[in-house]
Amino acid sequence: MQPRPVYALPEYRGSGKLRGKVALITGGDSGIGRAVAVHFAREGADVSIVYLNEHEDAQETCRLVQEEGQRFVAIAGDIGDEAFCQYAVQETVRQLGRLDILVNNAAEQRVTPSPEELSAEQLERTFRTNIHSFFFMTRAALPHLRPGSAIVNTTSVVAYTGSYTLLDYTATKGAIVSFTRALARGLVGRGIRVNAVAPGPVWTPLIPATYGPEEVAHFGRETPLGRAAQPAEVAPSFVFLASEIDSSYITGQVLHVNGGALTCS
């Protein structure tokens, strides 16, 4: 990608907000997931990432986390498979000793010009990756989470604004908002906070993989800030929601990191 995404700003200095914690991040090989992994590590957390098959990207995330002095685990597999999600959580706990933070972040999207062209196979695949996996990972993680733990889900600005050519993706992102709110209410008695981040346009590998050159060239210009965000500008919101120091009184909420777009949340 040109320019290369920025995953961490040098001026971001960790203060131990997540020291001693273990985080599991889906889709942590690149994009927002990688930036979250690096920021969590900078705040003192050990990190486990789940990814599909992007082995070189996962190794780069590994290098960045280890440069922060933290332990790292990478687990390859399909989060649309519930058995794999159970394995990923078990392997994280086996190698890192515990689990405190779950970040449900992985997603896929494909442009479809009209509903008539949206196949049943694509619809099923998008929902299995983008929302079914949130149920699978959460269900697998809950036996290991304790009071003070946090779940942070990645939704999107399109959950509020809609995107006609990303109809299935938009629907899953709306489902994530409702999932977050309902789960937060259900887990409050266990002392587990559940929140979400709704990014606007972010410069990640998903963008050139989804759109043509002209759309990529203008990506993000429709925002009031007139540009797309870098992953490093989104990741601190995940730190905030994962940190008891910062957000102990916040649950069931969505943070909008969208360049100034107005939403009804």
- Please report which confidence band the pLDDT of residue 1 belongs to, taking 50, 70 and 90 as the band edges: low
- Please report which confidence band the pLDDT of residue 255 belongs to, taking 50, 70 and 90 as the band edges: very high
The model's pLDDT over 73-125, given as tens digits with 9 standing for 90+, comes to 999 999 999 999 999 999 999 999 999 999 999 999 999 999 999 999 999 99
Asked if pLDDT for residue 265 goes beyond 60, the answer is: no
Catalytic residue among 51, 169, 211, 249: 169
What domains, with CATH codes, occur in the chain?
Answer: 22-257 (3.40.50.720)
For residue 106, count other CB atoms closer than 10 A to its CB: 26
Q: Decide if 7 is catalytic.
A: no
Closest CA to 222 of 163, 159, 153, 154: 163
For residue 260, count other CB atoms closer than 10 A to its CB: 10
Lowest mean pLDDT among 123-137, 176-190, 198-212, 219-233: 198-212
